[in-house]
Structure formats: C-alpha cells, structure tokens
Amino acid sequence: MDAKTIDEIIEKYKNPSGMVLGILEEIQNINKYLSKDALIYVSKKINVPFSQLYSVATFYSFFNLNPVGEHIISVCTGTACHVKGAAEILKSLEYLLGITKEESTEDSKFFLTTHDGCFSLNAARCFGCCSMAPVIKVDDKMYGYVTIQNLPKILKEYGWSKK
C-alpha cells in the first residue's frame, strides 16, 4: 500500500477518539492485512509508538498481520451456531480446502490460507445472525442455514473445484 493512500486515510481521522482503530481498520479493509511497513508508517505519522500499534493489532481478533487469501471464509462459532454444528462445518471446510489447524500464525490467531492463496479460513465469534445458524461468511456475503452438504456448492461460487 502506498504512502499516499495511508495519508488519505489518516487525514479522515481528525478526532482522536477511535483514530487508531479506525485507521488500522481502513488499511486492512483495503489491503486485507496489516503489513509491518504500514504499521511503521502509521506509527510515525500519528505519533503513536510502534509497540502500541503492534499490541493493538495482536490483541483484537479483527486484525491480520499476514497476507490472506483472495476469498476469506469466516465460520461463525457463536453459541447458536455451536449448538447447531459450527464445529463440523469448520472441520468440513478444512477438509474441503485441504488445510488443517496445525499451522499457526505469528499472532497466534486461527487463520489458515490455502497453498494456492485462493481461500483463507477463520473462525469468527458471532455475526449476530443467530436465527439463521449455522452461518458462514465468504468475503462480504453471509450464508444462513449452512449444511455440510451445501458447502461445496457455496465454495464453487468462488471458483473452488474438488481436487
């Protein structure tokens, strides 16, 4: 991400309240993750120590410090989804995408990316869509009443094919 874009984002946050989270979120929305360079640049620009930005980025589950796949699949693991089988959905997705939980990331958040970089899989806390449990989200689209059987159909919408 170039400096100009970051400058423009910073410019939007004149009010100190919510500034740090707001800037980091906007950068991540565009870039999908927070690179070290971007964090260093922001730190200098807004005069907040790098250590603080780093602790913020690792504390909140929203931020990723590593590049992510083209499509991000988030499985809701809220209570309603848990009761309705979110764990099995997650497991099936790991299987379908050919990735397993064993690999862990630098910030120890559960975020798995396929080798071809097409998909990233993670577990989300709750989308507040509990009435349609179990729920998954692919990029910005939410899918309710998901079953293990219709997972391949959803994945195919994003260019997945069975190996």
Partner 1 sequence: MKITSLEDLENIARKGLKKLNPDNKVRISVGFATCGISVGGDDVFKTFKEKIYERKLNNLELCKTGCIGFCGEEPLVNIKMPGKSIVVLHRVTPNDVDDILQKIENETYEFHKAFFKIDDWDHVTSKIHYGDGYENIPKWNEIKFFKPTKRVVLRNSGIINPEDIDEYIAVGGYRSLYKVIKSMTPDEIIEEVKKSGLRGRGGAGFPTGLKWEFAKKEQSDVKYVICNADEGDPGAYMNRNEMESDPHMIIEGMIIGAYATGATEGIIYIRAEYPLAVERFKKAINDAKKYGLLGEKILGSNFNFDIIVTEGAGAFVCGEETALIASVEGEIGRPRLKPPYPAQKGLWGKPTNINNVETWSNVPVIIAKGGDWFSKLGTQKSPGTKVFSLVGKVKNVGLVEVELGTTIDRIVNYIGNDGVNNGKIKAVQTGGPSGGCIPENLFNTPIDYEHLAAVGSIMGSGGIVVMDDDTCMVDTAKYFLDFSIDESCGKCVSCREGLKHMHDILDDITKGKATFEDIDTLKELAQTVKVTSLCGLGKTASNPVLTTLKYFYKEYEEHVKHKRCFARVCKDLIRYVIAKDECTGCTICAKRCPVNAINGEKGKPHIISQNVCVKCGICYDVCKFNSVKKLSEAIGGEK
Residues forming contacts to partner 1 in the complex (CB under 8 A) are 15-22, 24-25, 48, 52, 55-56, 59-63, 77-84, 88, 91-92, 95, 124-133, 135, 140, 142-145, 147-149
For residues 108 and 65, is the Cβ–Cβ distance under 8 A?
A: no
CB of 53 to partner 1, least distance (A): 9
CA dist 100 and 112 (Å) reads 7
CB of 70 to partner 1, least distance (A): 19
Closer residue to partner 1, CB minimum distance, 2 or 155:
155
Closer residue to partner 1, CB minimum distance, 2 or 26:
26
Closer residue to partner 1, CB minimum distance, 50 or 60:
60
118: annotated binding-site residue? no
CA dist 122 and 90 (Å) reads 8
CB of 121 to partner 1, least distance (A): 15
76: annotated binding-site residue? yes
Secondary structure string (H, E, C) spanning 15-64: CCCCHHHHHHHHHHHHHCCCCHHHHHHHHHHHCCCHHHHHHHHHHCCCCC
Terminal-to-terminal C-alpha distance of the chain: 34
The residue behind tokens 């499985």 is: 75
Give the residue numbers of the binding site for [2Fe-2S] cluster. 76, 81, 126, 130
